[in-house]
Structure 1
């Protein structure tokens, strides 16, 4: 039996079968499928959150750890020689649950410290010994694919991995939450900034707008009057008006509101700058 016959006889993944059953898709390539999904969103066949999750799944296996990792310069390390009170102070300041433990010169990784493991030393700090509680670190290369990293997280039951470069030096770290967010979107926890909004004021009458912001939210915050029934998101509104996926710095004026593309890729708009009261801005 030919390999193609074997492949065709195997059952489709459930998510692929769902798309075939629910959408009229004629996609022949990965890129065409993503475009079809965006059109399904614009026509309100699928909700924006559903489309983003499917897009995240489709792109997940092609992404590498280096694309999502926290760089070394932003990592909160714990010194292996730090005493109990110094460690508590560091945790109180940064409020993380896990920390890479390095030697004094920060050129050798010792392991991972989990903050809750320190609870046993409350009231008996004199008995604290780092080597008793530091755990082995999950080590991954920068080039590792996210689908493989997810499998390693599940198999090792780890929630954090230390990222190494080609010379085995620590170059960053990545968490289970970072990986999951590539599929489901940002996950806010109790330490995330509550002011991380879809629409942020940059200057008078000038806003930075996430492309997935709903048209109704845009109208509410900016006082605009775009038709809510036509398109769910600001990205859909702009792409329909321009008749394409615009490039960075391209501009569009709709109802005296200026939309400028700040971030985009080959398939979608990511971030826009929106200016209102254009007549007033020109007068100034």
Structure 2
């Protein structure tokens, strides 16, 4: 097992030292190459060391943690966000973080996050570019931790929804309408693209500019009236011509991976 070269980036001394202790005690395949109190110090460490993993705080003065992300574009680096504020979760997901840990950090969650980052980095070291699309999707099914629930804003607060209960999502101007397995509908004031980026791509696919479906509820698809899908609840949804080839490929991968599990 190779060792992950890591840095800790946090402006709070206690947070830095406690995370360092946890990593030393419970993650023996992580080597801390340096500790930074700011994004600018993190950049300096990245220039000095071959870093695989960054534990990155978000709410820091001058520059927040997200401002380091563009500097990582050409590096084989995984990021685990560490923060006391759960409202950053959506943005962390969009930044393709390996994981997102809330302070105080739970030991089991930390170990799971490090193991996940290790798998992603191992995949790259073993020529991930040579994997077929199906193999990559298989890895996603077997190993990649995905969003399991969504917090949807409502008029009186928020509604927590298990993603497996979502049959499909439709767009209505700048609103998204969630259709649930028991027939309930929830309308939220966010565009469909936001949820396309958040939801696990192996399970949810956009088939039209105004529709995302959960492949777990796909019963059949046909071209009687132009390509359309039929869900188990009987709903029929059109597949746009522009997205038809991507949809067919996604279904092929989905069914193959499911049959291999």
TM-score (norm 1): 0.23
Question: Taking CA–CA contacts closer than 8 Å with sequence separation of 6 or more, which of the two structures ends up with the larger relative contact order?
Answer: 1
TM-score (norm 2): 0.24
Larger strand proportion of the pair: 2
